[in-house]
Structure 1
Amino acid sequence: MTQITIFVFMNLNDFYEKGAQLFLPNLSVDLVIIGYTDSKLKCLLLQLGDKWILPGGYILRTESVDDATLRILQERTGLDDPHFKFLSVFGGKDRKFTEEWRQFFKINNLPFKEDYWTNDRFVTLAYYSLVDFESTTPVIGNLDTAFGWFDLDQLPNMMMDHKEIVLTAKERLKEDVRHEYLSYNLLAEDFTMPQLHQLHQTILGEELDRSRFQKKMLASGMFERLPKLQTDSPGRKPYLYRVKKD
């Protein structure tokens, strides 16, 4: 079970009564959307009643999994071409959350039926996405009432198994940045090597030799130095870099 993406041509009743005709049953997508601000990693969550959930949605019968993931990300972040990477499958034999939804519907005076297709067991395909915090414009849906960015180390009360998914993404990100060049997705298009260095230290939770780190990044050949220096900080002015375009 996951957060619901409701299309404008569907009201809630049609979604629950007829949604199985449009979406693949028993399969959903959940997204751990990670931003970086004030030297901290943040996770985008949606408020549902007195709890919080991950952004997510269902897969149309007419689209691929990747297309569905991209669509949901674009809907939730307002980004045209957001980064995303497969995380894991969450599909325990008892992964259904009927009672949690029953209570939510009751509290909000919404009609509830046992045979709604969304009450069945669901397998979710989880992805994580690294986004530029300042460029992201989160959007809420029909059921959630607010969005919030939360420290990965200070998560709120969450529904279902979504906290487990977030913590899995946190550990995977640590592993991935040791072997892949992807953390730049958390920064603005133009950034300095000191900013990238600090970001890696935040992700890994450990200190990294600054000189060795910069040499490693530049040796990758992924980044190009811009002719202008950063001028909005005191002291030594570091060069700006950006990812080379194909």
Structure 2
Amino acid sequence: MTQICYFCSMDLQEFLEEGDKLFLPNLSIDLVIIGFEEGHLKCLLLKMGNKWLLPGGYIRRDQSVDEAARTILKDRTNLEDPHLQFLSVFGDSERRPGLGSEWKDFILNSGVKWDEGYWVNDRFVSLTYYALVDINKTHPTVHNFDEAYGWFHFDALPDIWMDHDQILKKARNRLKEDINRELITHNLLPDKFTMPELHKLHQAILEEKLDRSRFQKKMLASGLFERLPKLQKDTPGRNPYLYRLKKQGV
């Protein structure tokens, strides 16, 4: 039997029966991994059975919560240091993965015996985070608990597992709030980008039209971006300048 991703050296049966010796029971992490492509905000989802769920995992007993979140994010995206922020706690009294038939079917289809007493079938409180990534640098992987991965528009989501649709909604609304306090959206773009690309990104996040001239003046006034001498040559019409985030201390 194959191993369970980065979590441990246990096989699936051993993980279900004894995983609580290595991981904190009743506490998990779920990640909303957000990217931007073709003018749309997208999120990374994993398929289990006939439903899709957020990437996530458990907290080892020797880990801090933030360390576990960073480890799970790196394992799922192969990114070393993406932008990661705490989102919220989800802990409904009936929040039990074992209540869903998809989970039981998955276990049985994996050739492992089913037991309602498994520790992962108990009530779980989820600590949720959201991450901003450049899709082109992201290389998702699938493991024992999922069959496939996909990037989905926030406005065209598939059938979502458990309460993960509520987590996705919370993350999208939080991102709207956060970009009004801090310029973090460049994390969704390549290292070099144009102001029209940044403008389009902010409109997608805020779901509203923004005056391009005022937006560009605001971005440049922030002092965060450095204009490069090289023009973006592969766009029709006017060729806008490329920008990048200023290096710290410059």
Structures share fold, TM-score greater than 0.5: yes
Whether the 8 Å CA contact 2:43–2:153 is kept in 1: the answer is yes
Please list, as runs of the form range in 1=range in 2, the aligned pairs for 1:1-246 lying within 5 A after superposition. 7=7, 9-100=9-100, 101-246=103-248
Deviation at 1:104, TM superposition (A): 3.3
Give the aligned CA root-mean-square deviation in angstroms. Answer: 1.4
Indicate conservation of the 8 Å contact 2:6/2:75, yes or no. Answer: no
Q: Distance in 1 between matches of 2:168 and 2:5?
A: 20
Q: Residue deviations 1:115-152, cap 9 Å, x none?
A: 21111111101111111011110010112110011110
Q: Distance in 2 between matches of 1:6 and 1:179?
A: 35
Which consecutive segments of 4 or more residues in structure 1 shift more than 2 A? 4-8, 101-110
For structure 1, list consecutive stretches of 5 or more residues without a partner in the other structure. none
Would you say how many aligned residue pairs link Structure 1 and Structure 2? 243
Same amino acid, percent of matched pairs:
58
How does the TM-score come out when normalised to structure 1?
0.94
Give the superposition deviation at 1:7: 3.3
Residue segments in structure 2 that go unaligned for 5+ positions in a row = none
Q: Distance in 2 between matches of 1:26 and 1:5?
A: 20
Quick check: 1:41–1:151 contact (8 Å CA) kept in 2?
yes
1:110 Cα offset (Å) = 2.9
SS at match of 1:93: coil
CA shift at 1:6, angstroms? 5.2
User: So what's the TM-score if we normalise by structure 2?
Assistant: 0.93
What amino acid does structure 2 have at the position aligned with 1:192?
Answer: T
- State whether residues 5 and 72 of structure 1, in contact with CA within 8 Å, keep that contact through their aligned partners in structure 2: no
Contact 2:28–2:58 (Cα < 8 Å) also in 1: yes
1:233 offset after TM fit, Å? 1.2
Q: Cα deviation per residue 1:9-29 (whole Å; 9 max; x = unaligned)?
A: 221012112211111111110
Q: Answer yes or no: is the 8 Å Cα contact 1:5–1:57 preserved in 2.
A: no
Change (3 A) 1:110 1:6: farther
Distance 1:159-1:31 versus aligned 2 partners, 3 A rule: same
Q: Which stretch shows the higher mean deviation, 146-155 or 98-107? A: 98-107
